[in-house]
Amino acid sequence: MIMILNKLFSKSVLASALVLLLACCAHHAPDNPPATVGGVDLQRYQGKWYEIAHIPNRFQSNCSHGTTAEYRQAGTGRIAVLNRCIRADGSVDQAAGIARVVDPETNARLQVSFVQLLGINLFWGDYWILGLDSGYNYAFVGDPGRKYGWILSRKPEPGAVDMARIWEMVRQQGYNPDDFKLTDQHMVNPGETD
């Protein structure tokens, strides 16, 4: 009986510590978060996207050029994510993750995790679709605190008219276009532009 109580006690202490840790790490929602798009057809959103620009961040610091993101249905209402880029030495850096919809009314607010432990995804990050072309040719993705931002396109190099529209989306959402670093897509293999 004492062994059972000790096991229960240690599990409850562990669970309490985990809850406390998560509560401490939770961030305060900003007072004026950006607005997500009114609706996203996740079937149309699937496929390959080329990163056109991003706000520099630590998890992409090894990327030199050719950054892409691929999305596909993963069953159980989740989306498989595969991010890839080319490092300066020519090697490929990639991260596989999973996304979940947190706003099923619009499908525009998701969370993504690239860390899994014992089959459990940890460290979910916000992935908000803040701008989306009606033809699903380009998208602007960010987070509620405007700390992160990505401009994605179905083509490695969108035209000048599309870029002007994208930068206007960025400004309308309260982001500063000067915070973004353009992504070099010139070295993408021609067979990979589909």
Q: Where in the chain are the domains? A: 42-189
Residue 14: how many CB atoms within 10 A of its CB?
Answer: 10
Could you give the C-alpha distances from 10 to 4, 16, 22, 24, 119, in angstroms and in order?
10, 10, 18, 21, 22
Higher pLDDT: 188 or 76? It is: 76
Residue 21 pLDDT > 60, yes or no? no
Angle at 101 (CA atoms; ends 176, 41), nearest 5 degrees:
80
Give the position of tokens 């000067």: 178
**CATH architecture of the domain formed by 42-189:** Beta Barrel (2.40)
Chain centroid to Cα 191, Å, comes to 25
- Model pTM above 0.75: yes
Residue 65 pLDDT > 80, yes or no? yes
